[in-house]
Structure 1
């Protein structure tokens, strides 16, 4: 009986591994990703807060090729909360917090700092070299590994005041994290569990080689050496899931975490108009749902164009040729495309550094 159960579990694991985070159809192989009708529709919309255009690294690529980049398993859900819904949620939040205070259950909610957060904050300006450059995941659905490893890399540098300036290896997570699916995608909670419990090596030990879309096997030694990877591991000390759309959380908690500790990771729904993003504050307008994508949030701001639109500043992993030199802005405070529902942050473990 145990043998049968084990066989079923292995079969299930294999079947899951063969399924990419984004669903790719036969039509996707014949549909170009750059859609000039979508670009025109966005740019001629007087209500639009952003501009669309041709990102040259996607020129000539099909939707199938783009979907392979979307390695965060996410079903199409609610696009955003309306102003009326946000008011209702806020009232519910206040009522719950009042009830918590009345019964004295302080553990049910974290104490929010009373310090006023600035209207604009950019980790790149605050911590300079600690915020590492834009990278390119290429044709592998490794966004989950890139964004998680980059957040932890940045936070090691920030927490150590620049003393531990390490670029951690997304390839390590792609190849070795057995809880996830390599180039076929990964779960953010699994990724942070791995960083906390199994650790991750520097990029110099395990360079990125899965840009061709193939999940390379997990090595035992650093690239070109006999040095065991087990001797080069960095760890997350802890991690947490921050979702402002649960009553005990607030969007400000994400901001406070970034303000105090550095960038955070999130996953969101990607629609076809997003891949044509060039500038401004993105909100979904048109185009079909493509899949889920994981990225790094480095700050926030408010537009000074008279609209006062709040936004997040986000680092993508589609090279510096995409969007705003690899970055994009997306509307803040209404869970645009589920952007604020799956936020993760982690603490770097400075007490557990590899020996140099």
Structure 2
């Protein structure tokens, strides 16, 4: 009983600590600014950890070429690569303002569907970004755990076989309810979901290392990936993130939309699903080429049709 009471007490305590914030902001060599994001300021430890999916759902990709050793070439960008790339600037018509998953741990759906939508637009299959239904995947993909998280391979399998409709057919509601709900048969306007056009992926495949991510990103557009979220990431408000303190709270899926360098530090540009009022207008930068928090071992690419 005493142990149970202690667990409840810990989970119900405020997540943010002014002492840790002070430590982070006095840490030498840190490339990012720490603060307490207003939207999470009053959350408890339990509320914060529920934002992420279990570690077991994040499965580092195993190289497909068995018996072939990784060489130094795998650690460097392809010859002739530009110094920086930001698809938000080169293809602004292919991006919406970052969305907010809110009370549903369905980052996997936002990241996979975001990759499909942006790559379709970049490939000129759509003249501008189409808002695809995250709710469709959350409610109808039986291979996932709805608002409790999901695995990338299952997410992509759903997009290959079933596809998703537009958001105006099935708007996102799980962020308010905190649960996935039943798979709906009717669109918001009363028409049948099965009669609506379903946007599908032609195929999807894992990217095994930094070089493969760079090749795919440069050739075809944003890349979906995941990483382990450590305690200090919740204090991020800007800069180039790298782990400074804390244990992993769980896995989180995001979308790499570009890369760059600043003061000899290489970074990825990444879209999050915590809304535009978080981080750098809904995005963050994270060290590139070092597999920071596993971000270069959990990537997937999609081929569109």
TM-score (norm 2): 0.88
Relative to structure 1, the CA distance from residue 31 to residue 160 in structure 2 (aligned partners, 3 Å threshold; closer, same or farther) is same
SS in 2 for 1:119: coil
Relative to structure 1, the CA distance from residue 164 to residue 229 in structure 2 (aligned partners, 3 Å threshold; closer, same or farther) is farther
**Alpha-carbon distance between aligned partners in 2 of 1:184 and 1:229, rounded to the nearest angstrom:** 26
| 2:71 maps to which of 94, 113, 119 | 94
Higher-Rg member (1/2): 1
**Alpha-carbon distance between aligned partners in 2 of 1:34 and 1:75, rounded to the nearest angstrom:** 26
1:266 has 2:213 as partner: no
Relative to structure 1, the CA distance from residue 73 to residue 46 in structure 2 (aligned partners, 3 Å threshold; closer, same or farther) is closer
1:192 has 2:192 as partner: no
SS in 1 for 2:70: helix
1:344 has 2:300 as partner: yes
- 1:178-257 alignment to 2 at 5 Å? 178-211=142-175, 212-244=177-209, 251-257=210-216
Partner of residue 70, structure 1: 52
Relative to structure 1, the CA distance from residue 229 to residue 139 in structure 2 (aligned partners, 3 Å threshold; closer, same or farther) is same
| 1:286 maps to which of 238, 241, 245 | 245
Relative to structure 1, the CA distance from residue 113 to residue 342 in structure 2 (aligned partners, 3 Å threshold; closer, same or farther) is closer
Residues 258-286 of structure 1: CA distance to partner in whole angstroms, max 9, x if unpaired? 12211111111011100110111111111
Is contact 1:240–1:344 with CA below 8 Å preserved after alignment? yes
Partner of residue 15, structure 1: none
SS in 2 for 1:266: strand
* Distance apart, 1:72 and its partner CA: 5.9
**Alpha-carbon distance between aligned partners in 2 of 1:202 and 1:227, rounded to the nearest angstrom:** 13
Partner of residue 137, structure 1: 101
**Alpha-carbon distance between aligned partners in 1 of 2:40 and 2:77, rounded to the nearest angstrom:** 43
| 1:43 maps to which of 16, 22, 25 | 25
Aligned residues: 290
Residues 204-251 of structure 1: CA distance to partner in whole angstroms, max 9, x if unpaired? 11100001311111111211312333532110001110021xxxxxx1
Partner of residue 11, structure 1: none
- 1:17-166 alignment to 2 at 5 Å? 26-71=8-53, 73-74=55-56, 92-94=69-71, 115-160=79-124, 162-163=126-127, 165-166=129-130
Q: Structure 2: which 5+ runs fail to align?
A: 1-6, 61-67
Relative to structure 1, the CA distance from residue 147 to residue 28 in structure 2 (aligned partners, 3 Å threshold; closer, same or farther) is farther
**Alpha-carbon distance between aligned partners in 2 of 1:125 and 1:119, rounded to the nearest angstrom:** 15
SS in 1 for 2:174: coil
* Distance apart, 1:323 and its partner CA: 0.8
Relative to structure 1, the CA distance from residue 27 to residue 92 in structure 2 (aligned partners, 3 Å threshold; closer, same or farther) is farther
